[in-house]
Amino acid sequence: MNFPDCNLKESISNDVVMLIEDLDIPEKSKEKFTDRGIKELNPPQEKAVGSGLLKNESMVVAAPTASGKTAIAEFAFLKKIIEENKKCVYIVPLRALAQEKYDDFKRYEDLGMDVAVSVGDYDSSASGLGNHDLIITTSEKMDSILRHNPSWTEDIGLVVSDEIHLLNDESRGPTLEVTLTRLRQLTDAQILGLSATISNADELAGWLDAELVSSDYRPVELHEGVFNGSMVEFENQQDLDFEKSGRGEHVISDHTLDMGKQALIFASSRRNAESIAEKTGEKINHHLSGDERDELDELAEEILNVPSQPTKQCKRLAKCVRTGAAFHHAGLANGQRNIIEDAFRDKLIKVISATPTLAAGVNLPAFRVLIRDAKRYHPDKGMAFIPVLEYEQMSGRAGRPEYDDYGEAILIGKNENQAEELKERFIEGEAEEIYSKLAVEPVLRTHILSLIATRVTRDKESLNDFLSKTFFYHQYNDMRKIESKLDRILGKLEDWRLIKQDRGELEPTRVGKRVAELYLDPDSAHELLVGLETEREYTAFGLLALICNTGEMRTLRMKDREFDGIQEELAKHENELLKPAPSPWDLGYENFLSAVKTALMLQDWIKEKGEDKLMEEYGETPGGLRSRKEIADWLLYSMQELARLLNMKDKLKPIRKLRTRLKHGVREELVPLVRLRGVGRVRARKLWKAGFKSLSDLRSAPTARIKEVLGPKIGEKVKDQLDTKEDQEILGS
């Protein structure tokens, strides 16, 4: 394969450059670029076009953050969709990134392009997506769509895989790998992989039968440096000496604001991010003008009003925001993250401290990026250095093309020895090679069931044939590592009654097919099936303990000091368990107690404990609670679907009731009331206390009385629902 020269350091020269107006893309789309000030192609964009991007050549583009890779994808999908009448699937790693791309690409709708975003809801064929041209989705969602065999996949002409280097990620990589392998098998689509700079990009391109476009171009020059306790030593510019003493992130943030610029600070954990924001705000707030203080006060109030009742975390965030600083992590509510991101773009918030997910997520550049924590806790290794690739993702956020001629990425060391180590490892080091993670057994069994259930593979020979087309096989050219696990996995799937084997033939059972559609780990499905077959009566805790003990549920971490207390709680509820607890001497006992802790927290939520109380008792943030509620609902829905399939109608009512209680966070008596639109846990409890304990009570009450309890507007809406025959039927009254 002919790979373009990837070792040259590009810069914009006096050579003739390629102009947008010369591109072989629809004429009406060219204005969309020139209106944004993009009139000529930069080096990686020019390389991509020259290497056959617009001539159906599959391609891997490996280049730094902010080097214009997204525009390369735009050239490709405009050509495919408008001129060739084909669909494009645009795969991203995160939901937040999917939403950002959707908001960006909607600009093309007035050209007649229909843009859709599809994330979550893993039990859907998404047949409606067949009506759209550009489909933005996550790899997990695309995998789940393929499990339902939608007919519209045959119309796909282009697959864009953004952040394709995440094939290296243990949690996301295998799903992306199998999804790309399946799309290549199902379609003749052009594949476009957008990657960070990695050492083995040629290997990735070889797997995809793609051209490699590799570049180190950045539109804004990057200056990399290390703080050694008193100064920043830069590689390619004058060192920065500070008159003030103090922690590196505080001193440098203050200096950044002296320059009229903004900074991002990356920390290893949520707790660190929050602490940094709090202390940084104290150091920088003297830079704020009176008008900015007024605006930040309003912003802080908005943040407090996102949840129904502000938690301590909300108050802490609001306090930081008033000083011009903020923290950003997955524990925040979506609305709060959006407020912070918009205020940073508007230059109102000056410094954000964030966990590394921000580096791979939304487009939020700053003049300076500070890497405060170059180490992170790893369950197997303890505190270990982050990968060079991750450092490059973070540092790539430095410099904003519309505001800065250059950007600065600064690693924070405590002394000269540590600074030298950081410099050698990250600034002078090379990004790691990426490796397939497909051979991890829990992941492999999930995808093997899916391949059998969707009839992609009908016997061991075709299963091996599919696996031989994966990145794993391309890298190792050896199936033995996987084949040694195949018989064991197939045996388990048969024992769990998810597949049948007969002389090498592989066939899914009805339950196995449904498990694959529900996007469940077969091991988790087995747990749910055991729970369905028990003779024990269902209780809320019993169901919660069952679903929290599956691989899908991200359980709360149990601290050593909590061990005895959780065991005591377990003893109180042991007769409610739908599956016997493991022995305290079993290897997985501590993991089981973590599941029990998570179940206890969700039980407190449905007992109407507030988010603030849950945070105090369990250390759970509103964002974390929301995430676990979503997973719990999905697992309960899956259990409900399996009960339906197995004709276990007596199991359905308690599962449905628990789903409603989890959604609203209410005790059982409020379930009928929260089914009314506009009535949540707070209003339902108000109605209950006022004597309205059923829909019949409300229906027979004067409208004025309901308005007295709920207020005129909500009271009217509630009464309208009760007086409508259709709504009476929906509410089951």
The answer to whether the predicted template modeling score (pTM) of the entire model surpasses 0.75 is yes
Please compute, for residue 52, the number of CA atoms within 13 A of its CA located in the half-sphere on the CB side: 15
Segment 460-482 mean pLDDT: 89
Q: What is the pLDDT of residue 403?
A: 83
Token output for 708:
């007295």
User: How many Å apart are CA 312 and CA 324, to the nearest integer?
Assistant: 19
* Residue 513 confidence (pLDDT) above 70: yes
Closest by CA position to 388, among listed 344, 326, 431? 431
User: How many Å apart are CA 78 and CA 111, to the nearest integer?
Assistant: 10
Full set of structural domains in the chain with CATH: 20-214 (3.40.50.300), 221-427 (3.40.50.300), 441-517 (1.10.10.10), 522-665 (1.10.3380.20), 670-733 (1.10.150.20)
Give 304's contacts (C-beta < 8 A, 6+ positions apart): 310, 314, 315, 318
Q: What is the pLDDT of residue 261?
A: 94
User: How many Å apart are CA 359 and CA 47, to the nearest integer?
Assistant: 26
User: How many Å apart are CA 521 and CA 731, to the nearest integer?
Assistant: 34
Residue 4's pLDDT band, with cuts at 50, 70 and 90, is: very low
**Position of tokens 């080096």?**
43
Cβ 265 vs Cβ 370: under 8 Å: yes
Token output for 72:
């390369």
Structure confidence by residue, pLDDT tens digits, 70-127: 999 999 999 999 999 999 999 999 888 898 899 999 999 999 999 999 987 766 666 7
Kind of pairing between the strands at 263-266 and 351-354:
parallel
User: Does 276 or 722 have the greater pLDDT score?
Assistant: 276
* Residue 10 confidence (pLDDT) above 50: no
* Residue 407 confidence (pLDDT) above 90: yes
Q: Which of 124-133, 403-412, 548-557 bottoms out in mean pLDDT, i.e. has the lowest? A: 124-133
Q: What is the pLDDT of residue 9?
A: 35
Q: What is the residue-wise DSSP string for 511-546?
A: HHHHHHHTT--HHHHHHHHHHHH--SPP-HHHHHHH
Q: What is the pLDDT of residue 381?
A: 74
Q: How far is CA 532 from the centre of its chain?
A: 31
- The Cα-based distances of 55 to 48, 58, 76, 190 in angstroms read 11, 9, 9, 9
User: How many Å apart are CA 524 and CA 508, to the nearest integer?
Assistant: 17
DSSP H helices, 665-711, are: 671-674, 681-689, 695-700, 703-710
Strand partners, 225: 234, 410
Residue 311's pLDDT band, with cuts at 50, 70 and 90, is: confident
Q: If 0-12 CB within 10 Å is exposed, 13-18 middle and 19+ buried, where does residue 380 land? A: exposed
User: How many Å apart are CA 531 and CA 533, to the nearest integer?
Assistant: 6
